[in-house]
């Protein structure tokens, strides 16, 4: 959902967009180098898969958080478009509550999982697997923050889309 420039959520969303673009560039570069190494030099890079995998995990979870911020998360809205405003608001409230519960579970249980994963190392890079798993609680926390901002804007009458 667009909001005014200069708001904290706008700046966070813009930063996430830049991080997503950088992660995609890293993935493309690493996979391309690995393809060249594997098929041209006949020496595949051992670290490339782990780097690309970690970038993909963060890309997916940060992208999901950005989707929540933009109001573009997966939804089947053919029914709500046919509802009058009051029932549509009620359905919207249930959807927001469900997303909030899911995001809270991601943040809480993802954070609880990190200490148990911390000691596990990726074989080629030696990095902790916690770098991959950290995307879950970070994404959950971002989703909760974005939902809270949307609810505040809605409460203030600043929501721009009908049904939000």
142 CB contacts (<8 Å, ≥6 apart)? 12, 16, 62, 65, 68, 69
Do 107 and 65 form a contact (C-beta atoms < 8 A)?
A: no
Domain ranges of the chain: 8-155
Higher local confidence (pLDDT), 123 or 6: 123
pLDDT of residue 74: 67
Number of Cβ within a 10 Å radius of residue 28: 12
> Rg (Cα) of the chain, in Å, rounded?
19
pTM given for the model: 0.84
Do 132 and 54 form a contact (C-beta atoms < 8 A)?
A: yes
Kindly indicate the confidence band of residue 162, based on its pLDDT and cuts at 50, 70 and 90: very low
90 vs 148: CA distance, rounded Å: 17
Distance of CA 122 to the CA centre of its chain: 23
66 vs 15: CA distance, rounded Å: 10
What pLDDT digit, counting tens, does each position of 23-76 carry?
Answer: 999 999 999 999 999 999 999 888 999 999 999 999 999 999 999 998 876 666
Q: Give, for 15, the enclosing helix (H) or strand (E).
A: helix 8-39
Higher local confidence (pLDDT), 22 or 6: 22
What pLDDT digit, counting tens, does each position of 114-158 carry?
Answer: 999 999 999 999 999 999 999 999 999 999 999 999 888 888 875
pLDDT of residue 40: 92
């Amino acid at each position: 959902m667009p909001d005014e420039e200069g708001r904290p959520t706008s700046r966070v969303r813009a930063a996430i967009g830049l991080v997503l673009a950088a992660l995609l560039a890293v993935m493309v570069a690493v996979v391309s180098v690995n393809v060249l190494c594997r098929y041209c030099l006949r020496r595949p890079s051992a670290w490339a898969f782990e780097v690309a995998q970690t970038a993909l995990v963060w890309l997916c979870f940060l992208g999901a958080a950005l989707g929540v911020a933009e109001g573009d998360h997966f939804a089947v809205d053919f029914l709500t478009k046919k509802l009058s405003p009051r029932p549509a608001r009620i359905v919207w409230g249930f959807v927001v509550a469900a997303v909030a519960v899911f995001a809270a579970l991601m943040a809480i249980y993802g954070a609880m999982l990190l200490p148990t994963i911390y000691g596990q190392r990726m074989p080629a890079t030696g990095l902790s697997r916690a770098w991959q798993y950290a995307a879950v609680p970070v994404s959950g926390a971002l989703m909760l923050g974005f939902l809270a901002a949307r609810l505040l804007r809605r409460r203030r009458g600043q929501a721009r889309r009908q049904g939000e």
